[in-house]
Chains A and B, each alone.
Chain A
């Protein structure tokens, strides 16, 4: 079943996925910006807040700024501090 227009699917990675116990979460969504996505995640999973505060947010294949609008159905991902190399 496709995600309802009232939820937003958010991808999680690495320690963030481990803290949430899953790689994707669906947060209630009535439209808003990247900043609102952060608030919706914390409201649902308060335990993610410390790592989320140090994370960037991506829309599709690029990093997004805090005031960018996020339409329902957007490809949203939380990007915690990286450790590649």
Chain B
């Protein structure tokens, strides 16, 4: 948790990175607010097949301090960008069996559209820039770390893009 003593503290951006099973209900409760009219919870789970190849389990690695820092920045950005009341992310590390939750994102807002959009935007950013990696294990015992081609973006690049976007928006 970035700057929070507990998920229900006054801080309304919740970051949890844990080796234990994720509790999506707790995350949803952590973003609840009486001013909210829409509360969205996304739960990402380990699927049993990827591109026709069976996955027996996944193992996640992370640069935890950097992941917490980047996630805290993304949550703050999401809160501003979508005028959220609160938002949070929980990501699990270590070995995850098919069907188990690897990630949960929750957002609350006065209206549902902002909460839906924020949740999807946060997932896109997480998959693009947060230093967490998955390794796929197959039935034949082989495994492969998943690395795409996109270089993780530095904070200042993300900020510049965001400022540029808001500048464009303000000219409309």
Query: B-contacting residues of A (Cβ < 8 Å)?
Result: 11, 13-15, 17-18, 51, 54-56, 58, 60-65, 77, 79-85
Contact = CB atoms under 8 A, between A and B. Distances in A.
A83 B132 contact: yes
B131 A79 contact: yes
Interface residues of B, number: 37
A85 B103 CA distance: 5
Interface of B: 44, 60-63, 65-70, 91, 102-103, 123, 126-135, 145-156
Contact of B126 (A56, A60, A85): A85
Contacts of A64: 154
A63 B157 CA distance: 10
B123 A15 contact: no
B149 A81 contact: yes
Given A84-B60, A84-B103, A54 B151 contact: yes
Contacts of A56: 151-154
